[in-house]
Homo-oligomer: A and B are copies of this chain.
């Protein structure tokens, strides 16, 4: 095909993809312009063979420190993954391998009912059982339920800092105490919340990171609220030795071992993340979160003014609205060009107020919402 023909074909496909403009269902967004710039500049870089790309490797090393510092501990160990699922797999795999070496055979982990569906995938992949703890009235994990589920084969408790469905934060401080008491690994899935909570005005209410002694591992996704490019996740361990549990030796590469799940690994998205962090800094990231939270409150206030209640007062930029016939409403909203999603239990309309959402969008959406219900 000619160059022109290929370009036309790509444009045709691009027109079929939605723009994020009216997408209120996704935790992804447009990458920051400087992320796109850096991604393109390092497009051929492969962190799976980092001896060839020492410049990219330096960026990854510095990012681990920077993200660690944001999450309460500069001195952490990890790498930039493909996203939350890989990070969650690796967290559970690290502690599973350690306990396996100690002779444990049947193992289970305890996750909140609200945990991301990737934990079902992980249970399947890693051959561990998943026990699901119930929630309190505010849709946070019930710590009593977690305690009751612990048995001799439990290796890990998972807490969520920013649940996918409700944007709620589990009581990580209490989980930290429980896991320390029971000598268990505590993994905090902060894929969404890790780049939100540190910038909330009420952040002191939500301890969730390495400042809590019981937290063994945190995952956070730069390709969600970190404004970086897909695929970029990040997994951080308090102790370096957990990376050893994941390591395989790598003949015929410029390095001797590899702790990542994938082999070849994008250096471009690492460069993109590095560029965003350097350019925006914590203040720039805070400004983005502050605006998302302003629009979140605007949406909730607008909904309340129309007599629609939120399931919980939003903790972060996720809004869940309690409406009748929510599936019918979601279809009707889709017909008006909105992408929305629904939660399972309780059943509600779910809206994520990502950085691509504007005040205008919120107002237009509220008008259409009133129309359809």
Tell whether A207 is near chain B: CB-to-CB under 8 Å.
Answer: no
Tell whether A44 is near chain B: CB-to-CB under 8 Å.
Answer: yes
Q: Are A268 and B44 in contact (CB under 8 A)?
A: no
Q: Which residue of B lies closest to A276 (CB)?
A: B6
Do A14 and B42 form a contact, CB below 8 Å, given A248-B120, A264-B223, A264-B231? yes
Tell whether A289 is near chain B: CB-to-CB under 8 Å.
Answer: no
A36 to chain B, nearest CB (A): 6
Q: Are A252 and B56 in contact (CB under 8 A)?
A: no
Q: For chain A, residues 77 to 135, give those with C-beta under 8 angstroms from any C-beta of chain B.
A: 82-86, 89, 93, 97, 116-118, 120-121, 124-127
Q: Are A18 and B53 in contact (CB under 8 A)?
A: yes
Q: Identify 23 residue pairs between A and B in the complex whose beta-carbon atoms are under 8 Å apart, listed by A's number.
A: A1-B279, A9-B278, A13-B59, A15-B55, A17-B53, A39-B43, A40-B40, A51-B339, A82-B82, A82-B231, A82-B264, A83-B263, A85-B262, A86-B261, A116-B263, A117-B248, A117-B251, A120-B249, A221-B264, A230-B266, A231-B265, A251-B344, A254-B339
In the complex, which of the residues A36, A117, A223 has the most CB atoms of chain B within 10 Å of its own CB atom?
A117
We find that the number of chain A residues with CB closer than 8 angstroms to chain B is 95
Q: Which residue of B lies closest to A165 (CB)?
A: B252
Q: Are B3 and A34 in contact (CB under 8 A)?
A: yes
In Å, the complex CA distance between A28 and B43 comes to 12
Q: Are B55 and A16 in contact (CB under 8 A)?
A: yes
Find chain B residues with CB under 8 A from A55 CB: 12-17
Task: Annotate A20-59 by CB proximity to B: 1 below 8 A, 0 otherwise.
Answer: 1001011011110010111111111110010111111011
Q: Are B17 and A56 in contact (CB under 8 A)?
A: yes
In Å, the complex CA distance between A281 and B6 comes to 11
Q: Which residue of B lies closest to A120 (CB)?
A: B248
Q: For chain A, residues 331 to 353, give those with C-beta under 8 angstroms from any C-beta of chain B.
A: 339, 341-344, 350
Find chain B residues with CB under 8 A from A121 CB: 248, 258, 261
A344 to chain B, nearest CB (A): 6
In Å, the complex CA distance between A169 and B371 comes to 64
Q: Are A253 and B341 in contact (CB under 8 A)?
A: yes
Q: Are A343 and B13 in contact (CB under 8 A)?
A: no
Tell whether A293 is near chain B: CB-to-CB under 8 Å.
Answer: no
Tell whether A10 is near chain B: CB-to-CB under 8 Å.
Answer: yes
Q: Are B278 and A44 in contact (CB under 8 A)?
A: no
A113 to chain B, nearest CB (A): 12
Q: Are B26 and A49 in contact (CB under 8 A)?
A: yes
In Å, the complex CA distance between A320 and B45 comes to 25
Q: Are B262 and A82 in contact (CB under 8 A)?
A: yes
Tell whether A275 is near chain B: CB-to-CB under 8 Å.
Answer: yes
Task: Annotate A171-185 by CB proximity to B: 1 below 8 A, 0 otherwise.
Answer: 000000000000000
Q: A268 contacts which of B54, B230, B265 (Cβ < 8 Å)?
A: B230
Q: A263 contacts which of B7, B118, B281 (Cβ < 8 Å)?
A: B118
